[in-house]
Structure 1
Amino acid sequence: MTQLRLGLIGAGSWALAAHLPILEAARDDVEFVGVCRHGGDALGRIKERYGFRVASEDYRDVLAAGADIVVIASPTADHYTHAMAALEAGAHVLCEKPFTMTAAQAWSLVDTAERTGRHLLVSFGWNFAPMITRTRDALAAEGIGTVEHLAITMSSQTRELLADTGAYPDASPDTAPEQATWTDPLKSGGGYGQAQLSHALALALGLTGVRARGAFALMAAPLGARVELHDAICLALTDGGICSVGGASAHLGVDGNKHHLAVEAVGSGGQFTVDVFRERVSLFRTGSGQQDLPVTPGEGAYDGGRAVRRLIDLALGRTTDNPAPGELGARTVEALELAYRSAASGLFETVS
Structure 2
Amino acid sequence: MSKIRAGVIGAGSWAAVAHLPALRDRDDVEIVAVCRKGDQLLASLKQEFSVGIASEDYMDVVNQELDVIIVASPPNLHHEHAAAALRSGAHVLCEKPMTISAAQSWDLVKIAKEVKRELLVGFSWNYMPMVQQAYEQLQRKGIGELEQMSMQMATQTRELLANLGPYPGASTEQVPEQDTWTNPKNSGGGYGQAQLSHALGLAFRLQPQRVAEAFAFMSSPRNAPVELHDAISYKFSNGAIGTLSGGSSHMGAWQNKDELQVRAIGDQGQFLIDLHRECAYFWYVDGTEINMKLPPNAGAVDNFAAANALVDVALGNLQANRAPGELGALTVEALELAYQSASLGKIAVSQVKNL
TM-score, structure 1 length as denominator? 0.98
Distance in 2 between residues matched to 1:98 and 1:305, nearest whole Å: 18
The 2-side partners of 1:102 and 1:318 are apart by 30
Q: Is the 8 A contact 1:54 1:65 kept in 2?
A: no
Runs of 4+ in 1 over 2 A off after TM superposition: 318-321
Three-state SS of the structure 2 residue aligned to 1:213 is strand
Q: Which residue of 2 aligns with 1:24?
A: 24
1:206 aligns with 2:198: no
What is the aligned partner in structure 2 of residue 52 from structure 1?
51
Q: Which residue of 2 aligns with 1:3?
A: 3
Written as runs of structure 1 = structure 2, the 5 A alignment for 1:243-254 is: 243-254=242-253
AA matched with 1:191 = G
CA contact (8 A) 1:34 1:62 kept: yes
Post-superposition CA distance 1:216-269 (Å, at most 9, x none): 000000111110000000011001100101100000000000011111000010
SS class of match (1:303):
coil
Q: CA RMSD in A?
A: 0.9
* Residues 78-132 of structure 1: CA deviation (Å, up to 9, x unaligned): 1110000000111000011111010000000011111111011001011111110
Deviations 1:292-328 (A, max 9, x none): 1121211211222111111111101134342100000
Distance in 1 (alpha carbons) for counterparts of 2:318 and 2:67: 16
Alignment correspondent of 1:117: 116
Task: Name 2:214's counterpart in structure 1.
Answer: 215
Q: Distance in 1 between matches of 2:10 and 2:170?
A: 14
Q: State how far apart, in whole Å, the 2-side matches of 1:122 and 1:296 are.
A: 26
Q: CA deviation at 1:51?
A: 1.7
Partner Cα separation in structure 2 for residue 172 and residue 102 of structure 1? 28
Q: Is the 8 A contact 2:65 2:89 kept in 1?
A: no
Using structure 2 for the length normalisation, give the TM-score. 0.97
Give the secondary structure class of the aligned counterpart of 2:319. coil
Quote the residue 1:12 is aligned against: 12
Amino acid at match of 1:259: D
Q: Work out the CA distance in 2 between the residues paired with 1:50 and 1:246.
A: 38
- Does the Cα contact within 8 Å between 1:122 and 1:325 map onto a contact in 2? yes
Give yes or no for the alignment of 1:312 onto 2:307.
Answer: no
Is residue 195 of structure 2 the alignment partner of residue 196 of structure 1? yes
C-alpha separation in 2, matches of 1:29 and 1:109: 27
1:145-184 matches, cutoff 5 A: 145-184=144-183
Shift of 1:63: 1.1
Q: Using the TM superposition, give the Cα deviation of residue 66 of structure 1 relative to its aligned residue in structure 2, in angstroms.
A: 2.1
Give how far 1:48 is off: 1.9
Query: What displacement does 1:170 show?
Result: 1.8
Separation in 2, partners of 1:119, 1:254:
38
CA contact (8 A) 1:123 1:304 kept: no
Structure 2 residues without counterparts, runs of 5 or longer:
none
Structure 2 residue identity aligned to 1:86: A
TM superposition shift of 1:174: 2.3
Partner of 2:289: 290
Distance in 1 between residues matched to 2:58 and 2:74, nearest whole Å: 13
Q: Secondary structure at the match of 1:98?
A: coil
Once the two structures are TM-superposed, the CA of residue 58 in structure 1 deviates from its matched residue by 0.5
Matched positions, count: 351
- The amino acid across from 1:168 in the alignment is Y
The SS at the match of 1:193 is helix
**What CA distance in whole angstroms lies between the structure 1 residues aligned with 2:169 and 2:51?**
25
Q: What letter corresponds to residue 265 of structure 2 in structure 1?
A: V
**Corresponding residue number in structure 2 for 1:77:** 76
Question: What does the per-residue CA deviation read over 1:160-193, in whole Å, with 9 as the maximum and x for residues that have no partner?
Answer: 1001111101211222111111000000000000
* Structure 2 SS opposite 1:314: helix
2: CA distance, partners of 1:42 / 1:125: 25
For residue 76 of structure 1, what is the amino acid of its counterpart? P
What is the letter of the counterpart of residue 8 of structure 1? V
Secondary structure of 2:233's aligned partner: strand
Report the counterpart of residue 339 of structure 1 in structure 2.
338
Provide the rounded CA distance (Å) in 2 between the counterparts of 1:29 and 1:282. 38
| Cα displacement (A) at 1:288 | 3.9
CA contact (8 A) 1:216 1:348 kept: yes
Measure how far apart 1:44 and its partner are. Answer: 1.2
Secondary structure at the residue paired with 2:120? strand
Question: Which 10-residue stretch deviates more, 335-344 or 62-71?
Answer: 62-71
Assess if the C-alpha contact under 8 Å between 2:91 and 2:118 holds in 1.
yes
What SS does the corresponding residue of 1:38 show, helix, strand or coil?
coil
CA distance in 2, matches of 1:308, 1:127: 12
Q: Structure 1: which 5+ runs fail to align?
A: none
Give the C-alpha shift of residue 2 in structure 1.
Answer: 2.1
Structure 1 residue 276 and structure 2 residue 313: aligned? no
Equivalents in 2 of 1:319, 1:189: separation in Å?
Answer: 30
